[in-house]
Every structure is written in structure tokens, then in C-alpha cells.
Amino acid sequence: MQGPLILLSLGAGALPEHLPAVQGDQYVRIGYIDEAQRHLLDEPFTGPERERLVRFGYHVVNIDLRRNGFEDDLAAVDAVYVSGGDTFALMAGLRRSGADVIIADRVHAGMPYVGLSAGAVVAGPDIEPAALMDDPGMGLDLVDFRGLGLTDTVVIPHADGQLPPYPPDLIDRTLNEYGDRFTLLPLYDDQALIVDADGSRVVDSTEPAV
């Protein structure tokens, strides 16, 4: 991993600190991938996650993995942001388009990777531990559950159990069922996992006041 990786559960307060929106005299161009949510909508997702990036000051470029030529869009950005949604739908879309290989190669070459929730899970070695939280049926065309392999840790987002779809008992079941086979990191919604040249560490990621 060259990274850095900025893996979020929900709050994005850590993002501007670890990936400043302006570097030198240029705004950071961040490629926004919403594949984890595309199965829910007929049109590309342009909801709160994307709006937050704009508010932080990034130059946001929508990257549609279903469009021919998305590789050129991905090659032209400084960083990539992979949104939340269904982990298995996301991994299937990444694998189907070949974006999994392209993104991994670019991150190994130094491109920052930002992933939130599902986007954080797929950065790890395997997405199977998300099977109780998301729908494995959304990844029926996956031949296996390999993730991007950017880190050896599988993030378990929303681990404080504050979001209604992910109550504490579901988080506990996930940790109990998969903790003996995978290195799991329960990540609270006000935390982020940073992986860079200094190692791996959990930092505060409280959402800034609007």
C-alpha cells in the first residue's frame, strides 16, 4: 500500500485534515464512485456524501463505472472516493468493470483512497464479514468475496450501533461470526481508520458543524 487510505464509517471530519482540499495552488480533484448505491436509483447518486465533498472544497468528478471510458476519468483525478451503500453491489460493480484492478494499481502508486462504510469495507482483503449487514445476493456474479486488498484489516462500520439498520446485536453477531477468520476493526461513526507511511491508526472523525 502506498495510499494513504482514509476509511470512514459515517463522519468525515478526518478527511480534510488527512487530504487537504487545496494542495499548492490546486484544488484536489476527487473521483466520486457511487456504485454501492446505483442499484437503488435510476440516476447517479448525488446525495449527502457528494455534497459534503463539495462543501469541503474538493473538485468532485463523478465516475460512472458503467460508462465506456471511465478509465480516463479515473486517470485524471488526484484521489478516489468510494461511497457507502451495499458492499456486495459495490464489489460486483468494481470487479465487473475492472475498476478493482485500476484502483488498486493507482493506490499502490500513491493515489489517496477514501472509502465510507461499504467503500471502507471493500478496501480490505475480503468482504464476507459484511454478509450480516448487507445483502450478499447483490454480488451473485462474484466468484469470490476478495476485496481490493489495500489493507489487511476488514473495517466493520457503524460499530457503535447508532444507525437503525445496524443495531448493537448485529454488530456483535458480525464480530463473533467472522472474528476468528479475519482481522476485524469495529469503527464507530465518529472515527476513521488512517493507513499511511506512519502505519495504521484510528482517529477522531466527528462530523464538523455545517
Query: Looking at the annotation, which residues are catalytic?
Result: 117, 158
- 126, 161 Cβ separation under 8 angstroms: no
Report phi then psi at 17, rounded to 5. Answer: -70, -40
Neighbouring CB atoms inside 10 A of 62's CB total 15
Report how far residue 80's alpha carbon sits from residue 111's, in angstroms, rounded to the nearest whole number: 8
| Assigned C-alpha cell, 142 | 462474484
Report whether 93 contacts 39 (CB < 8 A).
Answer: no
Q: What angle do CA 65, 68, 71 make, to 5 degrees?
A: 65
User: 79 with 112: CB under 8 angstroms?
Assistant: yes
Residue 57, classed as helix, strand or coil, is coil
SS3 content of the chain, % helix, strand, coil (to 5): 30, 20, 50
Tally of CA atoms within 13 A in the half-sphere of 149 that contains its CB: 10
Give the position of cell 490546486: 26
